Chains A and B, each alone.
Chain A
Amino acid sequence: MASTIALTVARYRPEREAAPIFQTYDIPFRKDWVVLDGLNHIKDTQDGSLSFRWSCRMGVCGSCGMKVNGTPKLTCATFLSDYLPGPVRVEPLDYFPVVRDLVVDLSDFMRKLRQVKPWIIREEESPADGEYLQTPEQLDTYKQFSMCINCMLCYSACPIYGLEPSFIGPAVIALAQRYNMDSRDQGAAERHKILSEHDGIWQCTFVGECTKVCPKHVDPAGAIQQYKLTSATRWVKSLLLPWSAR
């Protein structure tokens, strides 16, 4: 079995390069190492200047998303052994501005996420008996969408987001649906304004890659198509029954 494996890592140091370059590092190969372990090994023993984000190293925090051999991946859950004999190409996520090396700026996502009000909206606060009750079936309708960890792999996989940066994007729509479908929420009409715009669901042409790369099986593509159906039904209803309250 191989004793070393090469990691070809994108470097972008704004004070030195105008555009990213690639640098190759040979690291020891270990069966139980993930790409993130390799990057940490480089940082600890070979090149302390390499910059990347990570935190939990167990697929929960969503910080370590990068492109591994061209596919958006959580590097903490991507084993080096799947890429033998190497080299493994590690790049920052696509379509976000690169700050340094493998670190991208996510401000655009954060701004869009706030627009869809990803929290429970009530017309009137405080239920009579202190809590909102929910059955397991009601939980089941949105639970899948609540698994999103904001890792941004879906944005990096979405060519529409690359071509039309104004698109609010897969994770934002999935998270809006997470609240729309929550039985305790009453904010669907408020979110509808943002979601039903051209830059909302209708910008999506259903490439479907967001769902394929999602490490938490959120299925953002499904969330978008389901909301297209909801939005179209609303539109037909408003056409047939213009006097009915929304």
Chain B
Amino acid sequence: MNVGPHYTLYHPRWYRRRVSVWWWLQKRSYTGFVLRELTSVFVAFFAVVYLWQLRALAQGPDAYAQFLARLKTPLFLTLDTVAFLFVLFHAITWFNLTPKAMVVRARGKRVPDRVIIGSNYAAWLVVSVAVAVVLLRG
């Protein structure tokens, strides 16, 4: 049989489906994943706000008062609320995933996932309380 150079005899004629740009809307878990990835933008947003706050603090009381006034505008209140919700989502989803990466063995047995997640939340609580105490005293 005369076979051309670009034709492979008996090679299957595959069908390949291209992945849709909207793949992340096709399943709830995929959407949740993309939202979790997106939370990094809001974590960065908070970091930038803190840097801005430090700069205002360094510039003196007037600049700091101006900074505080700016934070109280509806635009920043809305942005902060949205960012806070995303950061909360970030923290909760990542805390819940920690046992996947951290395998702790004690007395030859794997420490249950609940314990690892729980200790993360406990550490979070302790740090939050410590920060609150420092802030409220001052």
Q: Which residues of A contact B (CB under 8 A)?
A: 12, 14-15, 19-20, 70, 94-95, 97-100, 105, 137, 140-141, 159, 162-163, 205-209, 211-212, 219, 221-222, 225-226, 228-229
Q: Given A159-B19, A207-B30, answer yes or no on A221-B12 (Cβ-Cβ < 8 Å).
A: no
Residues of chain B with a CB closer than 8 A to A212's CB: 29
Q: How far is the CA of A222 from the CA of B84 in the complex (A)?
A: 28
Taking residues whose C-beta sits less than 8 angstroms from the other chain, chain B's interface range is 20 to 34
Q: Is B17 close to A, CB under 8 A?
A: yes
Q: Given A222-B100, A225-B100, A229-B102, answer yes or no on A159-B30 (Cβ-Cβ < 8 Å).
A: yes
Q: 17 more A-B contacts (CB under 8 A) besides A209-B30, A225-B97?
A: A14-B15, A19-B15, A70-B26, A97-B12, A97-B14, A97-B16, A100-B12, A105-B14, A137-B108, A140-B110, A141-B105, A205-B33, A206-B33, A209-B27, A212-B29, A226-B103, A228-B101
Q: Which residues of B contact A (CB under 8 A)?
A: 12-17, 19, 23-24, 26-27, 29-30, 33, 37, 97, 99-103, 105, 108, 110
Contact among A97, A159, A208 for B15, CB-based, below 8 A: A97
25 contacts between A and B (CB under 8 A): A14-B13, A94-B17, A97-B14, A97-B15, A97-B16, A105-B12, A159-B23, A159-B30, A162-B23, A163-B23, A206-B33, A206-B97, A206-B100, A208-B29, A209-B27, A209-B29, A209-B30, A219-B100, A221-B100, A222-B99, A222-B103, A225-B97, A225-B100, A226-B102, A228-B101
Q: How far is the CA of A20 from the CA of B19 in the complex (A)?
A: 15
Q: Given A162-B23, A209-B29, answer yes or no on A225-B14 (Cβ-Cβ < 8 Å).
A: no
Which residue from chain B places its CB closest to the CB of A212 in the assembled complex? B29
